[in-house]
A and B are shown apart, each in its own frame.
Chain A
């Protein structure tokens, strides 16, 4: 009995050690970024190992004084949030139709929508550039919003659809006999019932959008429309060379909003990533 308890305590300790070690491995790049971001530039690029790093706000000062970080952040937030709103507004009705209405070619249309994710972005990059040039939308946050929305729309539609398929049909039948029409059913029954899926889809879309680089670089030709992801690249070249500590700090700043978002909806997210998968 006592032995059993002891071995159980040991296995618990082992579990904490293994999991703690794994957590450290996962967190190391982030902690490393943070440490680089608060060190002097010279120390970051020295070839000799440093055991006790010194503390410096050089990179921080560089960002505040020479760099419109607030504008980049704002661009990122506006473009990403706007794209998610557009995605949800289009994807929720589309997902409902694909999940519930019985029409010819339903599965095909669903597949076509998903297939837009299957080609390499580079293939459409040039046409997209000319399209937006013709529309006079180059170098604008609104253009980024549209691009992000377009990139993620298929994914968002599919995630939400898989949730809607899991909602029992009886619920809709009940609402219909209770006197509700299609839009009321969607608004009052379906959307609340698949809210975890909608949140999951929104967060995944936001993460993809905030990290988007290729199209942002293409569309945003000046700092007016730069987002965090493209602005970062500014530190990698030019007459000043690669400014590692500033890159680290900006990366960290770009990472924080997503971290907060994910912590807030963690419960829904883990359920969301598995739920659609269980049911074929």
Chain B
């Protein structure tokens, strides 16, 4: 078990900046999720922690020890890969055993530890099989068992669920979270899926273009976004971001009018989540563009001017398209962002 400190970490590939000036403290036993779109530097960050990439600048400290000069094989971290990376020529048993052999753990302990790790992911019956004879979910569990078996200081997981179908992903998510709580191993988890991030993380780090956008608990990230990028990335469907102008305590955009505080002025962006909108009223006056019932709720898309606004409506809400419709915003949950995309605090 160990904490991880990243100090002013940078990775440049020629002129391209993969990760810029990243500083982060990851507490012992924490489940930290790096979240961002592809190419945002999250995987590069993880690979630097693993020792598979050499940082251009900055320091990595694991468990109080600077590891910049320590080879990947000697860092006590275990990594789970997107493509599982099981050794195709070895049985599952030998796959799980590989890290034990490499780390010169006495052979007498191997069998018990392999079986314990396999049981933890319910793979005990498949130990004799080759990876090719397993399903995607089983392979991913085998990869987890291989990471767990040597009781590392740190788990690194690089989009481990993205090759699985939606249903399997949900059950594996719960399994990973349960396992992490059980083993109490510091975990860094990379994903571009905000649902995974919200459900798994103790804290989420949102990255874009190599830089941290916001660090916080899932609740903080959701209810207190620092900028338009975070606001638009989290939530399903994401927050509506409406560009307009504010003056004299009033925000206006084509078809949209909402109250705001006096110090919000000029060109600003209004953010409002679909669940903080209600059908009826006059904050928005637009036309129904589409209605999407999902069973437990109904999503309504309203066109106001050129802008599409998503609304979470009552589950039995139905309407034809091109009908006039009004929307009310919950005034307690309006967010305003300045021209630079940063949040204007105390504005709602």
User: In this assembly, does B198 line the interface, its C-beta being within 8 Å of a C-beta of chain A?
Assistant: no
Query: A270 — which chain B residues lie within 8 A by C-beta?
Result: none
Interface window among A28-36, A179-187, A259-267:
A179-187
User: In this assembly, does B226 line the interface, its C-beta being within 8 Å of a C-beta of chain A?
Assistant: no
Q: Are A173 and B88 in contact (CB under 8 A)?
A: no
Query: A108 — which chain B residues lie within 8 A by C-beta?
Result: none
Q: Are A179 and B89 in contact (CB under 8 A)?
A: no
Q: Are A173 and B103 in contact (CB under 8 A)?
A: no
Query: B77 — which chain A residues lie within 8 A by C-beta?
Result: 177
With both chains docked as a complex, state the minimum distance between the C-beta of B210 and any C-beta of chain A, in angstroms: 21
For the complex, give the distance between the alpha carbons of A175 and B90 in Å: 13
User: In this assembly, does B72 line the interface, its C-beta being within 8 Å of a C-beta of chain A?
Assistant: yes
Interface window among B1-9, B78-86, B330-338:
B78-86
Q: Are B102 and A184 in contact (CB under 8 A)?
A: yes
Give the A-B pair count, Cβ closer than 8 A: 68
Query: B102 — which chain A residues lie within 8 A by C-beta?
Result: 175, 178-180, 184
User: In this assembly, does A53 line the interface, its C-beta being within 8 Å of a C-beta of chain B?
Assistant: no
A173 with B81, Cβ < 8 A, contacts A179-B102, A180-B102 known:
yes
Q: Are B85 and A171 in contact (CB under 8 A)?
A: yes
Interface size for B (C-beta < 8 A) is: 27
User: In this assembly, does A137 line the interface, its C-beta being within 8 Å of a C-beta of chain B?
Assistant: no
Q: Are B87 and A181 in contact (CB under 8 A)?
A: no
Which residues 18-32 of A have a CB within 8 angstroms of B?
Answer: none
Q: Are A177 and B50 in contact (CB under 8 A)?
A: yes
Query: A180 — which chain B residues lie within 8 A by C-beta?
Result: 73, 98, 102
Which residues 157-197 of A have a CB within 8 angstroms of B?
Answer: 168, 170-171, 173-181, 184, 188-189, 192-193, 195
For the complex, give the distance between the alpha carbons of A167 and B181 in Å: 34
Q: Are A168 and B50 in contact (CB under 8 A)?
A: no
Query: A177 — which chain B residues lie within 8 A by C-beta?
Result: 50-52, 72-73, 75, 77-79, 156
Query: A179 — which chain B residues lie within 8 A by C-beta?
Result: 73-74, 99, 102-103
From the candidates A170, A176, A193, name the one contacting B73 in the complex (CB within 8 A): A176
Q: Are A173 and B79 in contact (CB under 8 A)?
A: yes
A181 with B73, Cβ < 8 A, contacts A175-B87, A175-B98, A189-B87 known:
yes
With both chains docked as a complex, state the minimum distance between the C-beta of B132 and any C-beta of chain A, in angstroms: 12
For the complex, give the distance between the alpha carbons of A144 and B102 in Å: 41
Q: Are A174 and B79 in contact (CB under 8 A)?
A: yes
Most-contacted residue by chain A among B72, B79, B85, B89 (CB, 10 A)? B85
What is the chain A residue whose CB lies nearest that of B80? A174
Q: Are A178 and B52 in contact (CB under 8 A)?
A: no
From the candidates A168, A178, A192, name the one contacting B146 in the complex (CB within 8 A): A178
For the complex, give the distance between the alpha carbons of A181 and B72 in Å: 9
Which residues 245-301 of B have a CB within 8 angstroms of A?
Answer: none
With both chains docked as a complex, state the minimum distance between the C-beta of B98 and any C-beta of chain A, in angstroms: 5
What is the chain A residue whose CB lies nearest that of B146? A178
With both chains docked as a complex, state the minimum distance between the C-beta of A191 and any C-beta of chain B, in angstroms: 9
Query: B150 — which chain A residues lie within 8 A by C-beta?
Result: 178
For the complex, give the distance between the alpha carbons of A93 and B254 in Å: 67
For the complex, give the distance between the alpha carbons of A193 and B131 in Å: 13
Which residues 140-170 of B have a CB within 8 angstroms of A?
Answer: 146, 150, 156
Query: B74 — which chain A residues lie within 8 A by C-beta?
Result: 179
What is the chain A residue whose CB lies nearest that of B47? A173
Query: B156 — which chain A residues lie within 8 A by C-beta?
Result: 177
What are 17 of the A-B contact pairs (CB < 8 Å)?
Answer: A168-B85, A170-B82, A173-B50, A173-B72, A173-B81, A173-B85, A174-B79, A174-B85, A174-B87, A177-B51, A178-B73, A180-B73, A188-B87, A189-B89, A192-B88, A193-B88, A195-B89
Nearest 8 CB-CB pairings of A with B: A179-B102, A192-B89, A174-B85, A178-B99, A170-B85, A177-B79, A176-B72, A170-B81
Binding site for B on A (CB under 8 A): 168, 170-171, 173-181, 184, 188-189, 192-193, 195
